[in-house]
């Protein structure tokens, strides 16, 4: 059962939240972060990507970078821009983008349950990225970015959420990208007990985004033998039916020594091809294909999709196994320089732009993986193919921090 605890969050002064809270550290380059934070001493990027305050040739994994992040966090606390709540609480965090809202519970998830796979994973992690987050947590003595978790929605938690969010939010601002961020505090002892006990009836939690953050938190927990607040990690936990995954599209650099016409003939051994096609696939097992200024619709032949394994029947896996590997020669999409991935938030127009410019020869527009797909894969201990999910909007760093 899920063991979710209240905690004393370090949170922004509501009047300053719009200046403080920023996109996660791992969705922008150091150069982009430097430009975003320019002229804003309160920007949380000075904590999450502190290399932006050092010379541009600074190694972002050098000790002085982590030390600068700790200094900047301490400075925000001294200035009371960030304030520590006096007692453990739960929180609610709502994001609204393009008229669509998703609301999650903010709490402290269990590192032992992560290690025991009660909190289920669907991605592999890279040691270097884990190391970076471990060093960041250790230097700051804090977890400054939440792990994005999901649970199968329950009527009781839905009703608690509805009642609490009918009240005015304590923090409410619209960021530069148009996404609105709102937060509520659950401080009543009876409500805290209800939330904790109801999560105790939730059988599993699923990592939607933040595999490196959760892995790093578990490593710190192990190295500290559970001392202090290291046994839990900062999480925002969403009911599954509020989440929407955007597609993660593919663009290819060349025809693997073949021609466009020959490649299309090979694709016809895997897909039924419809011309003209549409940019956005309408259903699972349908893919948009763009080349030479036109869209085709590709549908996997049925024999390839009628498999029981939830990993094997994912479109990203089928495309890799049946087309990208054998036809385009891309055996390892994680390391190949001949494939690029474009998050669905940028739309299919970005795919057309890349191909029409001559920078790429073709693009695959994917039907988005569903939350149910993700949970099914995690339930069997499976690993999703690389770049299978794109979650939007992103949780803001600085909205909640957890001291350890």
Give average pLDDT by consecutive 10-residue segment, the chain, 404 residues: 95 98 93 96 98 95 98 98 98 97 98 95 91 98 97 97 98 97 98 97 95 97 95 98 94 97 97 96 97 98 94 95 97 91 91 96 96 94 88 95 97
In 3-state terms the chain splits into helix, strand, coil percentages (rounded to 5) of 35, 25, 40
pLDDT of residue 126: 87
Q: What is the pTM of this model?
A: 0.91
User: Hey, how many other C-beta atoms are within 10 angstroms of the C-beta on 152?
Assistant: 15
pLDDT of residue 198: 97
Q: Are 338 and 254 in contact (CB under 8 A)?
A: yes
Eight-class DSSP state of 256: T
Tokens of 157: 């938690």
Q: If we measure between CA atoms, which residue out of 67, 14, 76 comes closest to residue 42?
A: 76
The Cα-based distances of 381 to 185, 306, 334, 375 in angstroms read 35, 20, 20, 10
Question: How far is 49 from 30, CA to CA, in rounded Å?
Answer: 7
pLDDT of residue 386: 81
pLDDT of residue 345: 86
Domains in the chain (CATH in brackets) are 9-244+392-403 (no CATH), 248-367 (3.30.1760)
Place of tokens 């993700």: 374
The Cα-based distances of 236 to 92, 132, 138, 267 in angstroms read 8, 21, 21, 42
Which residues, at least 6 apart from 233, have a Cβ–Cβ distance to it below 8 Å? 108, 109, 111, 114, 143, 147, 213, 214, 217, 218, 221, 402
């Amino acid at each position: 059962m899920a063991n979710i605890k209240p905690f004393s969050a370090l949170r922004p002064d509501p009047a300053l939240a719009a200046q403080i809270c920023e996109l996660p550290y791992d969705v922008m380059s150091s150069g982009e972060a430097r430009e975003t934070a320019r002229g804003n001493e309160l920007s949380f990027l000075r904590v999450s990507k502190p290399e932006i305050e050092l010379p541009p040739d600074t190694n972002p994994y050098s000790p002085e970078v982590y030390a600068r992040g700790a200094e900047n966090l301490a400075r925000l606390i001294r200035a009371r821009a960030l304030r520590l709540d006096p007692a453990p609480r739960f929180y609610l965090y709502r994001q609204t983008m393009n008229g669509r809202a998703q609301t999650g519970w903010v709490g402290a998830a269990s590192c032992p349950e992560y290690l025991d796979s009660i909190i289920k994973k669907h991605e592999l992690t890279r040691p270097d990225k884990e190391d970076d987050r471990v060093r960041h947590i250790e230097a700051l003595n804090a977890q400054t970015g939440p792990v994005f978790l999901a649970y199968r929605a329950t009527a009781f938690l839905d009703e608690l959420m509805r009642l609490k969010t009918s009240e005015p939010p304590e923090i409410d601002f619209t960021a530069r990208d148009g996404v609105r961020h709102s937060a509520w505090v659950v401080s009543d002892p009876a409500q805290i007990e209800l939330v904790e006990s109801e999560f105790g009836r939730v059988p599993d939690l699923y990592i939607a985004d933040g595999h490196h953050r959760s892995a790093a938190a578990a490593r710190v927990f192990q190295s500290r033998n559970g001392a202090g607040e290291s046994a839990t990690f900062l999480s925002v936990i969403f009911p599954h039916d509020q989440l929407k995954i955007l597609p993660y599209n593919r663009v290819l650099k060349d025809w693997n020594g073949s021609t466009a016409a020959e490649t299309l003939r090979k694709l016809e051994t895997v897909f039924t091809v419809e011309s003209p096609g549409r940019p956005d696939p309408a259903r699972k097992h349908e893919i948009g294909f763009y080349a030479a200024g036109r869209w085709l619709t590709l549908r996997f032949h049925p024999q390839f999709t009628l498999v029981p394994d939830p990993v094997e029947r994912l479109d990203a896996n089928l495309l890799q196994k049946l087309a990208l590997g054998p036809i385009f020669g891309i055996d390892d999409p994680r390391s190949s320089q001949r494939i690029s991935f474009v998050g669905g938030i940028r739309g299919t127009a970005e795919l057309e732009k890349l191909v029409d410019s001559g920078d790429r020869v073709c693009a695959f527009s994917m039907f988005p993986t569903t939350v149910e797909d993700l949970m099914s894969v995690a339930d069997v201990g499976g690993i999703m193919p690389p770049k299978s999910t794109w979650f939007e909007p992103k949780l803001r760093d600085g909205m909640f921090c957890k001291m350890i």
